[in-house]
Structure 1
Amino acid sequence: MKKFLLLIREDLERMQNMTETELQADIAKMTRWAEQLAGSGNLLGGEPLEAETRYVKRSHIATDGPFAESRESVTGYMLIQAENIETAAALAASCPSVQDNEIAIEVRPLMVHE
């Protein structure tokens, strides 16, 4: 099995406009999906992320990220294991928030050092 990082990307404006009830419903939906991944043996870990960020380059540290015009940000990550990237992408596509077009998930294989 290979390891993959799932980067969860969300529209920050959508998140800021959510009511507490909507936020809790979103959290519950993602928690149920994570529990399904854990039950199948695919989930290795993950956490939500705060919206605050710093983009660090040698010449400066920016507080608005690499793309100031971007309204999307990485709001969480999951580490999973799957046979290949196609299977990992299929697992990401099974996320109800992806299916509801509320988030996007970037699937990245971890580099293997031999």
Structure 2
Amino acid sequence: MKKFMFLIREDLARLAAMTEAELQEDIAAMTAWAEALAAGGHLLSGEPLEPETRYLRKNHIASDGPFAETRESVSGYFLIQAESLDHAAQLAAGCPSLQEDKIAIEVRPLMIYA
């Protein structure tokens, strides 16, 4: 099997406006989905990320992303294994938060050097 990274992208304003109950509901849904990935032998690891960030270029460090108007950011990741990019995308499509249009998931294959 090949390894893939799911980059979870969310609207930062939506995240900041969520109540504690809404946040816990989203966490429970994502946890259940992650447990299903693990039960299927696909989940290798994953973690949520804090919203604070630094974006670096050679001569520039921005505290809020590459552009001042950035609204969406990577809020977490999953490292999974799947047969192919299409299979990985199929697994990502099962995410309840994706289906509810709360997040976007970028699916990226890991580059493995022999």
TM-score, shorter chain, exceeding 0.5: yes
In angstroms, what is the RMSD of aligned CA positions? 0.6
State the alpha-carbon separation in 2 of the partners of residues 84 and 66 from structure 1. 31
Superimposed CA distance per residue, residues 28-86 of structure 1 (whole angstroms, 9 cap, x where no aligned partner) = 00000000000000000010000000001110211011132121000000000000000
Partner of 1:13: 13
Partner of 2:98: 98
Q: Which amino acid aligns with 1:67?
A: F
Q: Which amino acid aligns with 2:8?
A: I
Q: Which amino acid aligns with 1:105?
A: I
TM score, norm. by length of structure 2: 0.98
Do the aligned partners of 2:7 and 2:74 also contact (CA within 8 Å) in 1? yes
Partner of 1:71: 71
State the alpha-carbon separation in 2 of the partners of residues 68 and 3 from structure 1. 33
Partner of 2:48: 48
Count of matched residue pairs = 114
Secondary structure of the 1:90 match is: helix
TM score, norm. by length of structure 1: 0.98
Secondary structure of the 2:13 match is: helix
- For structure 1, the residue ranges without an aligned partner over 5 or more in a row are none
Identity of aligned residues (%): 68
- For structure 2, the residue ranges without an aligned partner over 5 or more in a row are none
State the alpha-carbon separation in 2 of the partners of residues 6 and 67 from structure 1. 23
Do the aligned partners of 2:64 and 2:70 also contact (CA within 8 Å) in 1? no
Partner of 1:80: 80
State the alpha-carbon separation in 2 of the partners of residues 89 and 66 from structure 1. 27
State the alpha-carbon separation in 2 of the partners of residues 3 and 67 from structure 1. 30
